[in-house]
With several copies, the nearest count.
Chain A
Amino acid sequence: MDLTFSAEERAFEQEVRDFIAGSLTPEMKRATALTPSVFSDPDIGMAWQRALHKKGWGAPGWPVEHGGPDWTPAQRWIFEAECARAGVPNVNVMGVKMVGPVIIGFGSPEQQNFYLPRILSGEDYWCQGYSEPGSGSDLASLKTRAVRDGDDYIINGTKIWTTHAHHANRMFALVRTNDGERQQDGISFILIDMKTPGITTRPILTIGGDHEVNQVFFDDVRVPVANRVGEEGKGWTYGKYLLEFERGSGIASAKLREALKTISDLAGSDVTGRAIEDPDIAIRMSEAEVDIDALEMTELRVLSALQTGQNPGAVSSLIKLRVSEIRQAVTRLGVDVIGQDGLAVEPARPFYRLNHEPAIPEELLPVVPEYLNGRAYTIFGGSSEIQRDIIAKMVLGL
């Protein structure tokens, strides 16, 4: 047992660092630091995607025949850790990490040939049409309906909490094509061009004041049957595959460590009156750091199991819960670090392109919105309550 990387892996680490040093512009870095969200604005995120794609790293998790870099789990770890450390923008995860793997796993060769290169290159920007009003945690109860009409489906209904729908040119959605005996049985997985007539989006401002999510309405929207992925009525299976794929692919500890470091640097600076001298802050930083250490070890245990071809087992399902809790603790710490400057609300966006001087120092701007928006970590993607239900049932066998 040991924690050190091999000489080859160290060399790869250096390659990643060199790549980042050569590709990450100061503007990208500043924009990422000043974005109070896990989603970068597309102009920033897609610029980074193009840089990655040029290097052949556009989709680290994909098989090599579809343009993946063929990395070992350790290489993926190193890549993600270095990206986190450098503060690179977030790419369009709905494309690279969500719909991409589904198309690879279940799409037709035509779909693969058409969509995958456009994800890699950053030409397409995807959003995810899953939740509906009334169907959040209870996703299988979704009501948006796709009725067959010749070679098309006609879609009616509405999706909600659709991240970046206002930026996306494509959506992958779960729609009801049939009233199966089980709710899950009548759901299909479909790819929708956002420019299709009948689609409208309504912005929903988050509690932090950001326009990130939307409600999307479908009013007799005509989508070719050829845009369905896999079999009709099997969409639930593909959707679940996606969630599992997603779960194994993230390495959260490196990003959390970086977020904590940002807060820690603020706490050590005059801009917060040296908040670090408050023992409550100092101790809570250590608590958060130790929590991240524990998470990192758990992630490394998963990585090590993957590396040696084993199934990491149930432990991966505990990770989402801890990640969301630690994230919230770190953003909360941020609020306490900046103290009364947190009273100032800056409504304009993005923070990295304000056309006026903000009331408080620029680096303090994202702190409160990050905390506020971060309340969603324990809600979106399956609330913490649902996660605990799942752990009790699937991990503990209760």
Chain B
Amino acid sequence: MDLTLSDEQRLLRESADRFVAETFDPEHRKKAANDPLGYSPAIWKQFAELGWLALPISEAHGGLGGGAIEIGLLMEAFGRGLVSEPFLSTVVIGAALVAECGTEAQKQATLPKIAEGALTLAFAHSERAARFDLGYVDTTAGKTADGWRLNGSKIAVLDGAAADQIIVSARIANANGASGKQGLFLVPAGTPGLTLRDYARLGGGRGCNLDLKDVQLPADALLGDGTDALPAIETVVDRAMAALGAEAVGIMQTLLDTTLEYTKIRKQFGRPLSANQVIRHRLADVAMQVDEARSMALRAALMANAEPGARGRAASGAKAKIGKCARFVAEQAVQLHGAMGVTEELDIGAYFKRLLAFDTLFGNSAHHYRRHAALSGRAHA
């Protein structure tokens, strides 16, 4: 039982905090917001040089073999700076899906490249009719003479337009044509039949919706051997939620710090806002919720390798609780900034929106309380 950071972890945190503080200022964010790519390839290169892209990849595949705690340290720093580089998509999700499902050849072909910053990935899984159900996929993969043919539509593909390859989930048709288990397919950008509707993502970065119309892929586009991919998807998404939780904690801490500062300086009726007991108590509640969120993100990271039930409960619990805290913290930060809070003049708005996006991603708070209840055997939840 030791919740203190190792020396390596402390160093990682310090370097991440420093790099983010020096690089991701409001000026930079404004530029990134207008960039069609949504992030800076030059900075991505620096991430690679700092070893961050190699962090969770196994040493056998050119990585550093780090875990959820290290990812969390980086993500929290990224949250503080509203970093929009596709770290989650490429490293936390993409690389992990390849590591979980891929054949050794597929791992060798992708993971070292990711580690050195030469390959970006995106994950196209959600569909509109699925809402937040990871098990619901209508996109189909039909076997052809020399490979696969994919048809369907995906939404909420993070960083899709910037990805060199998109990992697309599809239901593999059975011999009798009925749809069967899920498979994951590596689809290179620009493959014919692939249509992206790219958009600026709430809170920074890009996203897209994706149409697949008779997308032809070679046989080895399928990750692994055709085992149902859903358990691996659940594993990776549980860990991604832990990472997102840490990012949210960084955002919330920044909102708390900024709001504390603002209420001390801003005067109304001849005295600082922070002289109002109602505002003091509100800020006490905000601080308390930031602390609770921090505990839950840490817990989800520490449970990232537990058995699926415990891991899922920790991940859903964290996502649900942090989502609830995030709403409160974000809404109060805006409220306490008054009229300035509801503009794009201050950074507050950008942080607010990133937290809103956080709550929606991979299922909102209500969804994850329900999943938590179901995983806890409360059957009718």
Q: Which residues of A contact B (CB under 8 A)?
A: 1-6, 9, 74, 77, 131, 134, 136-138, 141, 160-161, 204-207, 209, 213, 270-283, 285-287, 289-291, 293-298, 300-301, 303-305, 307-308, 310, 315, 318, 321-322, 335-336, 339-347, 357, 359-360, 368, 371-373, 375-376, 378-380, 383-385, 387-389, 391-393, 395-398
Contact = CB atoms under 8 A, between A and B. Distances in A.
Contact of A379 (B276, B338, B352, B366): B338
B155 A341 contact: yes
Contacts of B287: 318, 391, 395-396
Contacts of A271: 128
Contacts of A279: 370, 380-381
A190 to B, nearest CB: 23
23 contacts: A2-B1, A206-B342, A206-B343, A207-B349, A277-B380, A278-B131, A285-B376, A286-B376, A290-B296, A294-B321, A297-B295, A304-B3, A307-B1, A308-B2, A340-B361, A344-B202, A345-B201, A368-B356, A372-B352, A375-B335, A380-B339, A385-B278, A388-B280
By DSSP majority rule, is chain A's interface helix, strand, loop, or mixed? helix
A59 to B, nearest CB: 23
A398 B1 contact: no
B2 A304 contact: yes
| 10 tightest Cβ-Cβ pairs between the two chains A and B | A297-B295, A280-B366, A340-B156, A392-B280, A304-B3, A282-B378, A391-B284, A282-B381, A359-B199, A290-B317
B339 A359 contact: no
Contacts of B269: 137-138, 141
B86 to A, nearest CB: 14
A85 B165 CA distance: 48
Nearest to B319: A290
Contacts of A392: 280-281, 283-284
Interface of B: 1-6, 9, 69, 126-132, 155-156, 197-202, 207-209, 260, 263-264, 267-269, 274, 276-281, 283-285, 287-288, 291-293, 295-296, 298-299, 302-303, 314, 317, 320-321, 331, 334-335, 338-339, 341-345, 349, 352-353, 356-357, 360-361, 364, 366-367, 369-370, 372-373, 376, 378-381
Nearest to A131: B339
A379 B335 contact: yes
A286 to B, nearest CB: 4
Given A290-B372, A344-B201, A347-B200, A273 B357 contact: no
Contact of B331 (A310, A318, A375): A375
Contacts of B334: 207, 375
B339 A344 contact: no
B199 A345 contact: yes
B130 A343 contact: no
Contacts of B128: 270-273, 341
A274 B136 CA distance: 14
A385 B276 contact: yes
By DSSP majority rule, is chain B's interface helix, strand, loop, or mixed? helix
A2 B306 CA distance: 12
A384 B282 CA distance: 12
A105 to B, nearest CB: 28
Nearest to B131: A273
A143 B228 CA distance: 69
Given A290-B296, A396-B280, 8 more contacts: A3-B1, A273-B130, A290-B369, A293-B317, A339-B131, A368-B356, A371-B356, A398-B260
Contacts of A322: 288, 292
B344 A209 contact: yes
A340 B291 CA distance: 27
B302 A207 contact: no
Contact of A376 (B283, B321, B342): B342
A398 B264 contact: yes
Contacts of B352: 207, 372, 375
B56 to A, nearest CB: 15
Nearest to B72: A1
A204 B199 CA distance: 23
Contacts of A360: 155, 199, 209
Contact of A339 (B201, B280, B296, B364): B364
B320 A318 contact: no
A1 B284 contact: no
Nearest to A346: B199
A5 B3 CA distance: 12
Contacts of A273: 127-131
B338 A388 contact: no
B155 A375 contact: no
Contacts of B280: 388-389, 392-393, 396, 398
A340 B126 contact: yes
A71 B132 CA distance: 47
B206 to A, nearest CB: 10
A385 B279 contact: yes
Contacts of A398: 260, 263-264, 274, 280, 283
A277 B292 CA distance: 29
A286 B378 CA distance: 9
Contacts of B380: 276-279, 282
Which residue of A373, A375, A393 has the most chain B CB atoms within 10 A of its CB atom? A375
A307 B2 CA distance: 8
B299 A343 contact: no
Which residue of B334, B357, B369 has the most chain A CB atoms within 10 A of its CB atom? B369
A227 B202 CA distance: 45
Contacts of A281: 366
B291 A318 contact: yes
Contacts of A347: 200
A303 B295 CA distance: 13
A336 B207 CA distance: 18
Nearest to B378: A282
